[in-house]
Amino acid sequence: MASKNSQAKMIGDYQIKGRPLGSGGMATVHLVTKDNKEFAAKVLHKHLMRERKTVERFKQEYNIGTSMKRSPAFVKMIDLFKDDGCWIIIMEYVPGCTVHDLLNKFGRLSPKEAIAITYELAEALTPFHAKNYIHRDLKPCNLMLTPAGQVKIMDYGVTRDLGANITKTGTTIGTPLYMAPEQICGSKKIDGRSDIYSLGLILYRLVTRKDAHGMTNSFEFIDLVETRMKKDVKEIKNFEDKELLDFIKKSLTPKPENRIPNTKEFCELLNKLTNYSTSRKKLIKNLLISMEKNIQAKKDARKQAKIEKTIVQPKTPVNIQTKLKKWSLIAGLSACAASGAAIYFMGWSKFFDVIKSLFN
């Protein structure tokens, strides 16, 4: 989106820099600058401006972010205003990559790396839940990893404030593939244990790159409900860390009352696992460094392959004998044609007289 001054590509007092960072069902995010500082501008889609509940939820995201400003794991909110008929949130710009991108570019993680990311995420949610908030949309593409090894929760547009009445009871909101069963079913009793379930799904995906119950992005909603409620967590082939798998299963029990009750206990149990490491941020930082090296190596390989294709290869030498045979055949055919023409016009007797004279 650009403001009325489209040539300057401005959002309020902020100048848009490059292409959008991303776009979703609710808003588009741009990289913007002001006073030589970079920010992220989240612009609510214009066609949603008439939907009162959507606008309220957008404003609530800003308010929730502001209330979490003391937590480094939550993106800092800078400003909220209306420009060119759209609501805008200006927030902290976070460099790095999403967990989704990490999995796509790097592959599945080791148990130690997966635990490090999940622990940081769960630890960040502890003060969030203490404020009576439920995220409801934890998923790899909403989680940023910074070069410093920090996990950042990027989006809480569907966060439920248990003290507010923006979300109607029994409404299903979030990303189905990462929802807890009670959330999918639109249960009236949703609390922090729904986020615990999402954490378990994320942890399983970090060590396998797959869904805990074998679901894919293409699914029927009724099949998802049936799977989450009745199917067991899939065993991981050649996976030696059985205590981690047992922990994941405990996080993914269909009934909330049988699940790990809160993020504090979730972290305490992670702390007891064999592959738990206190160097969590260092592990995450090294992961990003390795990923960048892999990306650069692939770029260099493609560049080298392109260079090699442009090099003119020497032509294969032509077989001289074959070439001589070819020209001999052509010469012979030409001679036959010439002789035939001479005989036709001169007659046989005169033609032979000419031939005899050539040898006398």
137 in catalytic set: yes
What is the phi/psi pair of residue 172, to 5°?
-95, 115
Q: Distance between CA atoms of 118 and 200, rounded to whole angstroms?
A: 9
Can you spell out the DSSP letters for 246-291?
A: HHHHHHT-SSGGGS---HHHHHHHHHTSTT--S-HHHHHHHHHHHH
Do 32 and 15 touch, CB atoms closer than 8 A?
yes
Residue 150 CB partners (closer than 8 Å, separation 6+)? 72, 73, 120, 281, 284
Do 83 and 235 touch, CB atoms closer than 8 A?
no
SS3 160: strand
Residue 88 CB partners (closer than 8 Å, separation 6+)? 11, 12, 41, 42, 43, 44, 79, 80, 81, 82
Instruction: Give the CB-side neighbour count of residue 219, counting CA atoms within 13 A.
Output: 18
Q: Is the dihedral of CA 53, 57, 181, 225 positive or negative?
A: positive
Q: Distance between CA atoms of 42 and 135, rounded to whole angstroms?
A: 18
Q: Distance between CA atoms of 137 and 15, rounded to whole angstroms?
A: 30
219 is written with which tokens? Answer: 């699914």
Helices 263-271/111-130 angle, 10° precision: 150
100 is written with which tokens? Answer: 């989704």
Q: From the candidates 83, 137, 155, 211, which is the catalytic residue?
A: 137
Do 79 and 90 touch, CB atoms closer than 8 A?
yes
Tokens 């009325």 correspond to what residue? 4
Q: Give the residue numbers marked as catalytic.
A: 137
